[in-house]
Amino acid sequence: MALPKRRHSKARTRKRRTHDRISAPTLITCSNCGEKKLPHRVCPSCGYYKDREVVTVEAD
């Protein structure tokens, strides 16, 4: 197996790892109730998707 001749510096390692971060999910507002939701998914607060009710949500 190949082994590195010299140790990689901290700067070189950190340059490689700059893209290994977790990004926040993109949120959009529901067109029916105005709550934040993930795109292309049913709104968890009102149950609407593309201006029609898909899931009935029970009121608490």
Does the pLDDT of residue 55 top 70, yes or no?
A: yes
Boundaries of domain holding 38: 27-60
Domain-embedded: residue 47: yes
What is the C-alpha separation between 32 and 23, in angstroms, rounded? Answer: 27
Task: Give me the number of domains the chain comprises.
Answer: 1
DSSP 8-state code for residue 15: H
Token pair recorded at residue 9: 């510096």
pLDDT digits (tens, 9 = 90+) for 3-44: 989 999 999 999 999 999 999 999 999 999 999 999 999 999
Domain-embedded: residue 17: no
* List of residues 6+ apart from 39 with CB closer than 8 A: 26, 28
Token pair recorded at residue 58: 């029970």
- pLDDT of res. 18: 94
Does the pLDDT of residue 57 top 90, yes or no?
A: no
